[in-house]
Structure formats: C-alpha cells, structure tokens
C-alpha cells in the first residue's frame, strides 16, 4: 500500500512501477481465488496501461497492454461477466497482433483463456478450433510436444 501511495504522487515514470503493483496484486488475488480483489487490481492495471499508451513511444503496440487486457478479461470471466471478458480477450489479441515481433505463439496464454471462456459458454467448436490453430502454430515453431512455456 505504501509503494502505491508513493507512486501515485510521482511523475510519469512512477506509473510503470504502479502498473507492476496492480499486475502483481491482481495476479496474487487470482491465484488465491480472491475474485473481487483480482477484478479491482486487474481493472486498475488495464486502466493504467491505457493511460501509459497515450504518452508512450510505442502507443498501444505494447505487450504489457496486451497482458493487461488478458488479465482484466480473466478477472471479468471469474465474475461471469462474459461479454466484457470476450471483448477484452479480443483486444488483447489485437494488441499482440500489432507488435513488431508478433508470432502466433506469443498469444498462447490469451488463446487458452479465450478458449476457456468459449467452453464455459458452450461454444465448444470455437474453443476447439482456436486451441487447435494455436497448437499447430506452436508445433511449427517449437516442434511436437514442446515444453516451451507459453507465459
């Protein structure tokens, strides 16, 4: 809490630290199944990354912004806010695709999360197709049965 208060009163550079604070709190809350806290912090993480994108040299072509959309989508999915979750997963994928070093494999965690949302909604064919497409991309880049982390 102290680190957050210090960062909130500082210049723009402190926003990057504050972004990390919200990300960490959101991730910790998600891992401990504290859904309201995960929603609060992951939403703050996304809101701050969107603010940062307005003055950043890379704008919205930012992997951390994509990560923020993904994390916020997960938090909304946990609250069964499906429309917002699907919207945020879509935006995460759009940001990933805009990156200069884009490859389909960098979207694997987001794709797995989006497929989970489709599965929960009973959209099994879409979930299957999405996962299969990403699996094929991973096999093309890393080989069959790769052990490369998709984080």
User: What range does the domain containing 12 cover?
Assistant: 2-142
Task: Give the number of residues written for the chain.
Answer: 151
- With respect to residue 149, please indicate whether it lies within any of the assigned structural domains: no
Task: Give yes or no for residue 8 having a pLDDT over 60.
Answer: no
Is 79 domain-assigned? yes
Q: Identify the CATH number of the domain in which residue 88 sits.
A: 1.25.40.10
**44-47: long-range contacts, CB 8 A cutoff, minimum separation 24:** 45/19, 45/71, 45/72, 46/71, 46/72, 46/88
Domain count across the chain:
1
Nearest Cα to Cα of residue 93 among 80, 109, 75, 77 = 109
With respect to residue 147, please indicate whether it lies within any of the assigned structural domains: no
Does 63 reside within a domain? Answer: yes
Give the model confidence (pLDDT) of 91-150 as tens digits: 999 999 999 999 999 999 999 999 999 999 999 999 999 999 999 999 999 999 888 876
**Does the residue 48 lie in any domain?**
yes
Residue 93 lies in a domain: yes
Q: Does a structural domain hold residue 40?
A: yes
Q: Read off the pLDDT of residues 11-68 as tens digits, 9 standing for 90 and up.
A: 657 889 999 999 999 999 999 999 999 999 999 999 999 999 999 899 999 999 999 9
């Amino acid at each position: 809490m102290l680190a957050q208060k210090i960062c909130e009163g500082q210049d723009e550079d402190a926003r990057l630290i504050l972004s990390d604070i919200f990300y960490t709190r959101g991730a910790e809350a998600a891992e401990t199944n504290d859904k309201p806290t995960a929603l609060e912090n992951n939403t703050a993480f996304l809101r701050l990354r969107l603010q940062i994108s307005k003055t950043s040299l890379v704008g919205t072509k930012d992997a951390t912004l994509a990560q923020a959309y993904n994390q916020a989508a997960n938090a909304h999915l946990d609250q069964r806010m499906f429309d917002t979750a699907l919207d945020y997963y879509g935006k995460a994928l759009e940001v990933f695709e805009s990156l200069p070093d884009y490859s389909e494999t960098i979207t694997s965690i987001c794709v797995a999360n989006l497929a989970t949302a489709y599965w929960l909604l009973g959209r099994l064919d879409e979930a299957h197709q999405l996962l299969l497409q990403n699996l094929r991309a991973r096999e093309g880049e890393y080989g069959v049965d790769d052990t490369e982390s998709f984080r």
